[in-house]
Structure 1
Amino acid sequence: MKVSVCMIVKNEQDCIKNALASIPPDYEVIVLDTGSTDQTIQIAQSSGAIVKSYAWNDNFSDARNYCHSFATGDYILILDSDETLPANTNEIVNQFVLQYPKMCASVFIKNLMEDEIKTHRMVRFYPNDGMYLFHGIVHEQVYYKDAPAEFKPMNLTVTHYGYEQEHYDQKNKISRYLPLYKKHLEENPNDGYMLYQMGKIYFAQNDYSSTIRYLMQSLNIGEADRLYFPVALVMLGYALKETGRSLEAEQLLVNFENDYPDFPDLPFLQGLLAMDTGNIQRIAPAFQRALAIGESTKYTSVAGVGTYKAAYNLGVYYEIVGNTSKAKEYYLSSASEGYKPAVERLKFL
């Protein structure tokens, strides 16, 4: 079985070397350059990658489909230049193909932020049989014939460094993506997923009024069975919280608290909101629900909300109400996972 890794790049000299070095040596690598003026092309060529040039037309799907037209592998694996693969990639891919031949796969993407880690799944692996194409000018999705492709989860974790603030600012991704989002919504005004992406990009800029506007539109589309929906719901809750509307956020989330029993971010936020609104009776149960769920590998999620961050907040709650033994128990649980705020609180108990 042959795997082709496909990558779209432009001026990625600071990160592409690490991405290329993480790819198994027997994988074919296709790099599509959209106008680099730095050393990106030379770095890719020196690694043995096949490098092709492409005139950028503000459409990611067109670029991906063109890039993949050069792939000769049985399967295609998509990797961005600011991402890396784990050392056991080949083993994981082979196991997946044995279990699910001719099937698409979503991979687990770990996004390294400034002060936290966020995770989500995305379809990045599919058969190279000519039946799969990308659709959408931005946040493109894999389609099989005329419908979104069915997929199975693969136990592959891709580490994404692009959201670290220095690199994010350097790449100027916000100004780069925003016009594409708006263009897409002009043509598809009822695309709930893209409305969510608009809210997300404004949230990253701390523009909470715009965040709230777009996320409310997104949720009103009513795609409650889509993976983005509960994530948009929680993001809206945080935006409301940041604008002094914690009670409104609390009332919103309570309508959905039983709908996503495997999403720890929802009860975790409910715990924070209960702290804000003084709803004392709901604080501990909310964080305990988050702990019971644990970390999510299904939804876009913040690392720790189902483990050490939930335990830490339970420690804070019990410390405030005077239950020192319980506070210490939860601080110890949080500290055992290396959470520094919990380590610091233990010094005072």
Structure 2
Amino acid sequence: MSKFKVCVYAICKNEEQFVERWMDSMKEADLVIVTDTGSTDQTIEALEARGAIVYKEVIHPWRFDVARNISLEHVPVDVDICVCTDLDEILVAGWREKLEQVWEEGMNQGKYLYNWSLKLDGTPDVQFTYFKIHDRKFFKWVYPVHEVLQYIGDTPCKEIFIEGLVLNHYPDPSKSRGSYLGILEMAVEENPEDDRMVYYLGREYMYKAKWQECIETLTKYLKLKAATWKEERCAAMRWIAASYGNKGDTQEAYNWYYRAIAEVPHMREAYVELARCAYFRKDWETTFFMAREALKINKKSDCYINLGYAWDHTPDDLAALGAYNLGIYDKALEHAEKAVAITPEDKRLKSNLELIRSKYLEKSKPQNANLFTEDILVHTLLLLFREEQLVEDKKLAARCLRSLEATQYKNVVVYNQGCLSNEELRSFLADFKLQFIIIGGMENVGVPVGRQRCFEYIWENIPNVQYVSELHLDMIFTPKWEEKLVEYLQTHDEPMISCGIIDKDGEMKFIDKIIKDMPEDEQDLQVLLKQLTSNQVVHGFTNPCIHNNHILKETGGYNLKFLKGKQCFEDDSILLGYYYYYGTRANWYPKISYESVVYHAVALQRLGLTDSVTINFNGLIKQYGAMGLKHLSQLHKSEWHIAFFKEQFNKQ
């Protein structure tokens, strides 16, 4: 049984089209009361048919506060909680339970999340905290337009934020707001010291493209003694800036945006608007800097309007455009990738990303061209330095890279997907006797994307390289570990060859061998790795592996159209690519050569990736179908893989 009597009340006029949806949303209330102010369609009949109580009123001259107060008077006095909404608004189902979980006797007002507008995908665009849930006795509506509830009780108002209660607004684009300007002008004429009405009048002038009137009115607003709400003052400064910008006075626009930022430095909107203003004037330094400053703010305001463009792809998009035009291509790529990650279906963003990536690769090539021209083999490595485990990750990387210094081929393409900037990473890598190309930048894009970007860099910039390796940070290599593997590929018609591995538990799974006492000393480990080598070549796949670059490119590497998860099953995609490259009659299968053995702790850093493993598995099925699963059960040697892929094939 409910603890409180809840009533939804509203005003309406000619809103027949919204009745069914609105009543469905409000049915959790004990009663619904609507005050109709002159409908000429079937609004009243539709509401009454759904059980609403409808009163007919004539409001002249029109004032929103008068209409809402009359509507509130129709609510019975024994109601405990009043919920005021409009017919083009929807409360998310379960709202009453959320309300009663926190409402207590003596509570006066409830606040909640309001999405004034939504994007096409249903995510919030313009969002702020709303206030239209209240007790029956101690409130009245004030202001002829942009009306608000005024508390009239004798004791301090007791407020609560109702976590999880969300009201969504689906505005009727056919409805005009043409009456607002006249009502606001009347209200300000009646009370020129009323900061709320003066602010809204200035904003309305901006909406009507009356730039000078907006500037003059909001300048007056800022001088009012009552105009002390910093967030609203900031908004007024932004509207003044926008008006100056539309008048062609860039310097004044900048001045007012800087004042807005100084007024409220913890909200993104002023930074983003200044970055956008700078973009249209091709002021790339300001565009880049202000967009980056906006991105440093990670929390939305809980007391003012949060505009969608401050929290969607826009800041990263502007940062990318600014960086690109400044020639800072690594930062341009970093932000362009983030923008696409936020809004992946935007064709312009995707086109920009390809352009920026191409330019980044082009500019990276000259300084490193001589580095790669002579090598037969290039290594690829994903570097994931996590901020919360930076010391441990650096130690892991240092141990790996020190051992790699004794490699025959010393060129490494690194994809940076950790917390260090590319410059910080370059400084770290300078301590090792290897030659690095760094791509990517500070975003954990996952294994398939990171590996594929390394491959694409090699294909575009050093296409004559014969072999490409895949390395992991949790590996330790013996001197010239790759030499025998390259020789194997040179003398066999194979697309790839894996290296023998021993893991942290001493297991050598593909040859059923276990070393009980794993040495902790690195020199002792190196001795052991040499001792474990043999001329065995067995059925199986593991990392590290070395690919024939020509065949890798022919098969396309990791197909990111299907591999949308951060990890798991990406290697299976490549194995099937090779299997079909040779044709099913050839009965190709992956092989491991124990002429080289490497320590591979096995997936130490993958614990930080949280994507469901099903994402890439489902992509694998889309790419290769059920028969692909059957063939994977044949390609893998381990009993687990064989059983798993057979089971999944039988389920299809």
Q: TM-score range by the shorter chain?
A: 0.7 to 0.9
TM-score, scaled relative to structure 2 = 0.49
Which residue identity does 1:246 align to in structure 2? T
Residue 229 of structure 2 aligns to a residue whose secondary structure is coil
The one-letter code sitting in structure 2 at the alignment partner of 1:302 is L
Corresponding residue of 1:92: 98
Residue correspondences, number: 341
- Structure 1 pair 236–151 and aligned structure 2 pair: CA distance change class (3 A): farther
2:222 maps to what in 1? 219
In the TM superposition, what whole-angstrom CA distance separates every residue of 1:4-53 from its partner, at most 9, and x where no partner exists?
A: 11110011112233222222434421100011110110111122111111
Contact between 2:11 and 2:35, CA under 8 Å: does it hold in 1?
yes
Q: TM-score, normalised by structure 1?
A: 0.87
Larger radius of gyration: 2
The correspondence of residues 244-323 of structure 1 with structure 2, limited to 5 A, is 244-275=248-279, 280-294=284-298, 295-323=300-328
1:158 counterpart (167, 170, 173): 167
Which SS does the other structure have where 1:317 is aligned?
Answer: helix
Structure 2 CA distance for partners of 1:289 and 1:152, relative to 1, 3 Å: farther
Structure 1 distance, partners of 2:111, 2:170, is 19
Report the residue type matching 1:318 in the other structure.
Answer: A
Letter in 2 for 1:266: A
Residue aligned with 1:171, SS:
coil
1:210 aligned onto 2:213: yes
The answer for the alignment partner of 1:126 in structure 2 is: 134
Instruction: Report the counterpart of residue 16 of structure 1 in structure 2.
Output: 19
> Is 1:68 paired with 2:72?
yes
Return the alpha-carbon distance in structure 1 between the equivalents of residues 337 and 106 of structure 2. 45
Q: What is the alpha-carbon distance in structure 2 between the residues aligned to residue 151 and residue 274 of structure 1?
A: 41
Return the offset for 1:193.
1.6
Is structure 2 residue 194 aligned with structure 1 residue 191?
yes
CA contact (8 A) 2:106 2:158 kept: no
Q: 228, 233, 236: which one pairs with 1:229?
A: 233
Amino acid at match of 1:84: I
Instruction: Please report how far the alpha carbon of residue 225 of structure 1 lies from its aligned counterpart in structure 2 after TM superposition.
Output: 2.1
* Aligned mates of 1:334, 1:261 — CA distance in 2: 23
Is contact 2:291-2:315 (8 Å) kept?
A: yes
Larger mean Cα displacement after TM superposition, 147-156 or 104-113: 147-156
Which residue of 2 is the match for residue 102 of structure 1? 107
The reply on whether 1:345 has 2:345 as its aligned counterpart is no
Q: How far apart, CA to CA, are the structure 2 residues paired with 1:344 and 1:88?
A: 42
CA distance in 1, matches of 2:166, 2:281: 38
CA distance in 2, matches of 1:149, 1:232: 28
Structural mapping, 1:322-333, within 5 Å: 322-333=327-338
Task: Give the letter aligned to residue 98 of structure 2.
Answer: I
Identity of aligned residues (%): 22
Q: CA deviation at 1:342?
A: 2.2
Q: 1:45-60 maps to which residues of 2 (within 5 A)?
A: 45-57=48-60, 58-60=62-64
SS in 1 for 2:262: coil
Aligned amino acid, residue 330 of structure 1: H
Q: Is the partner of 2:255 in helix, strand or coil?
A: helix
Distance 2:282 2:321 in 1: 14
The aligned amino acid for 1:96 is V
CA contact (8 A) 1:195 1:218 kept: yes
Asked if 2 retains the 8 angstrom alpha-carbon contact of 1:246 and 1:276, the reply is no
| AA of the residue aligned to 2:87 | S
Task: Tell me what 2:86 maps to.
Answer: 80
Amino acid corresponding to residue 351 of structure 2 in structure 1: E
3-state SS of 1:159 partner: strand
Which amino acid in the other structure matches residue 336 of structure 1?
A: A
Q: Deviation of residue 139 (structure 1)?
A: 1.8
1:127 maps to amino acid: D
The alpha-carbon distance between structure 1 residues 297 and 229, as it changes in their structure 2 partners (threshold 3 A), is same
What SS does the aligned partner of 1:262 have?
A: coil
Task: Look up the equivalent residue of 2:309 and give its one-letter code.
Answer: G
Structure 1 residues 27 and 344 mapped into 2: Cα distance closer, same or farther (>3 Å)? farther
Structure 2 unaligned runs (5+)? 358-652
- Does the 8 Å contact 1:24/1:90 carry over to 2? no
Cα distance change, pair 95–282 in 1 and its aligned pair in 2 (3 A): farther
Shift, 1:161, TM fit: 2.2
- 2:215 partner letter: I
Distance 1:236 1:19, change over 3 A: farther
**Hey, what's the Cα distance between the residues in 1 that align with 2:295 and 2:21?**
35
Q: What's the RMSD between the two structures over aligned residues?
A: 2.7
Q: 1:272 Cα deviation (Å)?
A: 2.7
Give deviations 1:91-118, integer Å, cap 9, x for gaps. 33223315x9513123332223899932
Q: Which amino acid aligns with 2:239?
A: M
Cα deviation, residue 305, structure 1: 0.9
Q: Whole-Å Cα distance in 1 between the matches of residues 233 and 119 of structure 2?
A: 25
Query: How do residues 165-176 of structure 1 correspond to structure 2 at under 5 angstroms?
Result: 167-168=172-173, 170-174=174-178, 176=179
Shift of 1:306: 3.5
Equivalent position SS for 2:243:
helix
Q: Which runs of 5+ in 1 are unaligned?
A: none
Q: d(CA) in 1 for partners of 2:158 and 2:259? A: 30
Letter in 2 for 1:207: K
Which deviates the most, 47-56 or 147-156?
147-156
C-alpha offsets along residues 126-173 of structure 1, whole Å, 9 cap, x if unaligned?
112x121112222222112289967444343322222xxxx34x3222
What is the CA deviation profile of residues 288-321 of structure 1, one whole-angstrom value per residue up to 9, with x for unaligned ones?
A: 2211223444322321314421111111111112
Once the two structures are overlaid, the 10-residue window that deviates more, 25-34 or 292-301, is 292-301
Tell which has more relative contact order, 1 or 2 (C-alpha 8 A, sep 6+): 1
